[in-house]
Amino acid sequence: MQASDYQERIWEGLPEGLEPSDFDLRLAFLLGGVAAGASVLDVGCGEGRFAEELVRAGCAVTAVDVAREPLRRARLRVPALDVRLLACAGGWELPDSAYDVVWAGEVLEHVADTAVWLSEARRVLRSGGRLLLSTPAHEPLTRLRMGLSEAAFARVLDPLSDHLRFYTRPMLARLIGEFGFDQVHVRAAGGLPGARRVLLASAVRSRF
């Protein structure tokens, strides 16, 4: 089975109209990092919930995904949205230095080749452009609960899950910094101290 077929099967099994996890929290983070008129690439756009809000905020949005079904749903939500299909692996068929912001909400944990993904995100950003992303958090209390509870361990590391990567704040900050980004800032949000649900990361594409 090709990776794109796998993603299509996942999307076809999801009911339409589901609200993304921690939507309000992640939306506030996203809108706080973009300016009206910015050119934004929404990577892994899903049904277009974030793209819709970016358009309302006055941004020029290109929404991309690796499956056709989410793009179909995104077009229904925002008929004029520029949507494009990306290959699951390899480079992105997008121009160099084309965007002010790259946004990826709950995407990085699904990526098999993280090095290529981050290199491509940097390539399509203008010099000084901003990377904004969110990904599930694996904080100290979360990891402790996984070690003490078989059920918690199985829930996070479910072998049938499409999550391939698991991040802590230091891991994510170090990773982003290794791929040509400056001013890297990662914070955890949602949930309780020590067991936050989501990591919110921002970084600026280095000028060289």
Over residues 27-37, mean pLDDT: 97
DSSP-based three-state secondary structure for 86 = coil
pLDDT in tens, 133-184: 999 999 999 999 889 999 988 888 888 788 899 999 999 999 999 999 999 9
The pLDDT > 70 percentage for the chain reads 98
pLDDT in tens, 74-123: 999 999 999 999 998 889 999 999 999 999 999 999 999 999 999 999 99
Q: pLDDT tier at 3 (50, 70, 90 boundaries)?
A: low
- Which structural domain, as residue segments, surrounds residue 42? 3-205
Do 38 and 57 touch, CB atoms closer than 8 A? no
Please list, in sequence order, all residues whose beta carbon lies within 8 angstroms of the beta carbon of residue 72, skipping any fewer than 6 positions away.
none
pTM of the model: 0.94
- Which CATH number do you get for residue 11? 3.40.50.150
Closest CA to 22 of 137, 156, 150: 137
Domains in the chain, number? 1
Average pLDDT, the chain: 94
Over residues 29-53, mean pLDDT: 97
